């Protein structure tokens, strides 16, 4: 039903846009000057402290074709070689979320988060992103936002990714499922009264992924011996009929009640800076469902003989939060009480939890210095006794920006780390709480043609939980240290630009926390204008690489990455691209993995999972805002 509605929306948008396409895009004469609408983005989580600061919508030509979310959210990372498949970030810290959750995080880089943003625009704004390539590689991203009235706004974000690939084309029942198949949808609306003493933000989030769980190649040497199209239908894989599904949906309503203010009977002030305090109430209904089915199980994969089966885990929760915020001079303080009622179903067993948390947040401002502390405690329920204390301090001196962060937490493991029930394996652990302490510092500067940022993080973890062997989980009851440094450099001058990122890290125990010691990503490009400077053109090349290490391997029926003793070496794929832009229309061609076949055939995204083959992809982005 949701897909039919979205298709109808796309048809309506296309037909309504058709009448003004010529004047907006094709006519570049001086008679029809292009004047794009100024689009601002407002982060609603800042409403807590009555902050309505805005950021500009990114309309740059550089990297507009980033159709693969993990490259933006998780680099360096390993995945299953296809878009919309499980991914593991290789430079992510070990801090935990202080709440009851299932803990299957392998799709996090693809899913929209729970944060809501509001587009501020005088006219309706629509952005369409479309990419398509060989082997049914497809990405569709659509955003629409508009002010229905001065005080009522509405928006929708939609993402669709699929990637079939041909490397695993001998899977059984392959016709009924795509290799990678992902949907994201986020609806949101905001409304406030004429004097803004009442305001509400409502949102609905829906995520779903469904993909083949192949388990990877069972014989890498056999696969590597094949060349080009001979690889088709000649793969030996671990699973021939396994499918994984992860679905999430959430409805959230946040209401703000603001006493006082400057509005009178004759004058209405709709700004937030007129208020010095506010009460807020938030209600959220959440559902998360995990499924794994194998219609032709091989006993070699599970260690036991099984008939066709389907495992499932289901988490449903109702979350309510009530709080109060007060501004004192230039400083702000907020506190709240949060109650969460959860039920978790896992293979015929259901458990119920009543969870209670208390939070406190603040902002301290002293000239160019700002400090934002935050505290959260678990009082009752699954997370009783858990705590998290963290803070961010920022300071600006001339062209230098300094940011310092600290975090100290002790958190109960996720539910699936403590209890796991499937047809193949089961465990019921009594792991202790995980303790994490972090210090982080960032310094950045902007010169005429250069942007430079250095970010350093030091972390100590006690009680880290990790997966190993084929189906085992363990807790490391000792201190584990992890150091990470990221150096980023952006250069742009006249017709040449570059983006470079270097990540250096050190883990004190590579068997528990395996991480590559170095990772590099680079983008080099030239840009120029043609046809009386109406057409902007960009030519460039991109690549990424990380050093060899004992890479984890994905296990379909635990939905987790298990540590191995197998050395994994990254081979950097080279991507050549060209982009063009006229007015609000961007067009791009990317040649991914261009060197495959010329520099060997041994390319992998993780142990047992070949990288996407060489392919040509077309991408467009069109902003309807004029």
Transcribe 545-613 into DSSP letters. Answer: EE--EE--EEETTTTEEEE-S-EE---PPEEEEEEEEETTEEEEEEEETTTTTTS-S--EEETTEEPPP
Tokens 């014989």 belong to residue? 219
∠ CA 440-446-451, rounded to 5°: 75
Task: Find the distance separating the first CA and the last CA of the chain, reported in whole Å.
Answer: 32
Alpha-carbon distance 307 to 421, whole Å?
Answer: 17
Lowest mean pLDDT across 75-79, 263-267, 294-298, 520-524: 263-267
The first and second tokens of residue 292, run together, are 């794994």
Which range marks the domain in which residue 556 is found? 2-262+275-624
* Burial class, 453, CB count within 10 angstroms (exposed 0-12 / middle 13-18 / buried 19+): middle
The values of phi and psi at residue 494, to 5°, are 50, -105
Distances (CA, A) of 370 to 170, 359, 394, 441, 515: 58, 20, 5, 15, 34
The span from the CA of 226 to the CA of 569, in Å, is 20
**How many Å separate Cα 536 from the centre of its chain?**
30
259-268, 303-312, 436-445, 568-577: segment of lowest average pLDDT: 259-268
Spatial distance between the Cα atoms of 187 and 142, rounded to a whole number of angstroms = 12
The answer as to whether 268 is a domain residue is no
Cα diameter, the chain: 81
Q: Which of 498, 493, 461 is nearest to 477 (CA)?
A: 461
Return the structure tokens found at 616: 């040509």
In a domain, 270, yes or no: no
Query: pTM of the entire structure?
Result: 0.90
Q: How far apart are CA 527 and CA 308, in angstroms?
A: 56
pLDDT reading at 8 higher than 80: no
Task: Write out the two tokens for 461.
Answer: 């973890």
Residues 81, 70 contacting (CB under 8 angstroms): no
The residue assigned the tokens 């803990």 is 103
* CATH code of the domain in which 141 resides: 2.40.170.20
For residue 76, say if its preceding peptide bond is cis, omega within 30 degrees of 0: yes
Does any domain span residue 482?
yes
603 found inside a domain:
yes
- Would you say 161 and 180 are in contact if contact means Cβ atoms under 8 Å apart? yes
**Ramachandran assignment for 486, one of left (phi > 0), alpha (psi -120 to 50 degrees), beta (any other):** beta
pLDDT value of residue 14: 46
C-alpha distances in angstroms, 536 versus 123, 139, 311, 495? 25, 24, 52, 11
Q: Which of 227-241, 314-328, 407-421 has the lowest mean pLDDT?
A: 227-241
At residue 16, does pLDDT exceed 60? no
| Cβ-based burial of 565 (10 A; exposed 0-12, middle 13-18, buried ≥19) | exposed
Strand segments (E) across 164-237? 180-192, 198-212
* Domain-embedded: residue 518: yes
Average pLDDT over residues 411-440: 95
> Is residue 170 pLDDT above 90, yes or no?
no
**Which tokens is 600 given?**
């060997």
Residue 152, in any domain of the structure: yes
- How far is residue 519 from each of residues 86, 342, 357, 452, 609, measured CA to CA in Å? 20, 40, 39, 17, 20
Q: What pLDDT score was predicted for residue 13? A: 42
pLDDT > 90? residue 398: no
Number of domains in the chain: 1
Is 42 inside a domain boundary? yes
Residue 439 pLDDT > 60: yes
Q: Percent helix, strand, coil in the chain (nearest 5)?
A: 10, 55, 35
SS3 226: coil
* pLDDT tens sequence across 67-96: 788 887 788 999 998 888 999 999 999 999
Classify residue 269: in a domain, yes or no: no
pLDDT at residue number 9: 44
């Amino acid at each position: 039903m949701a897909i039919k509605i979205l298709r109808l929306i796309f048809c309506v948008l296309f037909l309504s846009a058709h009448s003004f396409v010529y004047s907006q895009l094709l006519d570049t004469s001086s008679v029809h000057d292009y004047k794009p609408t100024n689009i601002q983005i407002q982060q609603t989580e800042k409403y807590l402290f009555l902050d309505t600061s805005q950021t500009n919508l990114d309309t740059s030509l550089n990297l507009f074709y980033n159709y693969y979310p993990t490259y933006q959210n998780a680099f360096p990372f390993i995945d299953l070689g296809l878009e919309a498949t499980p991914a593991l970030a290789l430079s992510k810290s070990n801090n935990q979320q202080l709440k009851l959750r299932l803990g299957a995080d392998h799709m996090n880089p693809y899913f929209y988060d729970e944060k809501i943003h509001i587009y501020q625009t005088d006219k309706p704004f629509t952005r369409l992103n479309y990419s398509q390539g060989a082997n049914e590689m497809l990405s569709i991203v659509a955003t629409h936002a508009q002010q229905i009235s001065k005080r009522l706004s509405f928006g929708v974000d939609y993402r669709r990714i699929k990637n079939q690939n041909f490397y695993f084309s001998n899977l059984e029942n392959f016709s009924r499922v795509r290799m990678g198949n992902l949907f994201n949808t986020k609806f949101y609306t905001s409304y406030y009264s004429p004097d803004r003493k009442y305001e509400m933000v409502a949102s609905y989030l829906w995520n779903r992924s469904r993909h083949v769980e192949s388990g990877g190649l069972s014989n890498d040497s056999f696969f590597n011996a094949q060349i080009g199209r001979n690889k088709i239908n000649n793969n030996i894989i671990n699973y021939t009929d396994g499918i994984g599904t992860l679905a999430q949906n959430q409805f959230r309503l946040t209401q703000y009640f603001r006493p006082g203010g400057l509005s009178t009977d004759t004058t209405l002030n709709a700004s937030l800076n007129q208020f010095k305090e506010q009460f807020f109430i938030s209600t959220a209904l959440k559902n998360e469902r995990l499924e794994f089915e194998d219609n032709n199980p091989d006993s070699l994969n599970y260690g036991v003989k099984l008939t066709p089966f389907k495992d499932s885990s289901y988490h449903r929760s109702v979350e309510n939060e009530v709080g109060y915020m007060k501004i004192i001079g230039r400083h702000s303080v907020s506190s709240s009480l949060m109650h969460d009622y959860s039920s978790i179903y896992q293979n015929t067993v259901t458990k119920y939890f009543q969870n209670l948390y208390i939070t406190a947040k603040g902002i301290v401002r002293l000239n160019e210095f700002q400090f934002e502390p935050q505290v959260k405690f678990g009082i009752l329920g699954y997370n009783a006794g858990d705590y998290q204390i963290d803070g961010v301090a920022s300071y600006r001196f001339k062209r230098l920006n300094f940011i310092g962060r600290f975090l100290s937490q002790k958190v109960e493991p996720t539910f699936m780390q403590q209890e796991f029930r499937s047809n193949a394996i089961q465990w019921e652990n009594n792991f202790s709480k995980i303790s994490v302490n972090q210090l982080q510092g960032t310094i950045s500067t902007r010169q005429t043609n250069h942007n430079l940022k250095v970010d350093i993080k030091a972390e100590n973890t006690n009680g880290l939980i990790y997966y190993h062997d084929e189906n085992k989980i363990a807790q490391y009851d000792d201190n584990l240290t992890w150091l990470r440094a990221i150096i980023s450099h952006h250069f742009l001058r006249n017709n040449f630009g570059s983006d470079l990122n270097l990540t250096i890290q050190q883990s004190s125990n590579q068997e528990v926390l395996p991480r590559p010691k170095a990772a590099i990503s680079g983008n080099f490009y030239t840009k120029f204008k043609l046809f009386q400077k109406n057409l902007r053109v960009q030519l460039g090349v991109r690549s990424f690489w990380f050093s060899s290490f004992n890479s984890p391997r994905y296990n379909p029926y635990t939905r987790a990455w298990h540590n191995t003793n197998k050395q994994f070496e990254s081979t950097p794929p080279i991507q050549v691209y060209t982009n063009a832009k006229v007015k609000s229309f961007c067009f791009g061609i990317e040649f991914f993995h261009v060197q495959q076949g010329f520099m060997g055939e041994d390319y992998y995204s993780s142990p047992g999972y070949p990288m996407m083959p060489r392919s040509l992809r077309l991408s467009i982005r069109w902003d309807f805002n004029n």
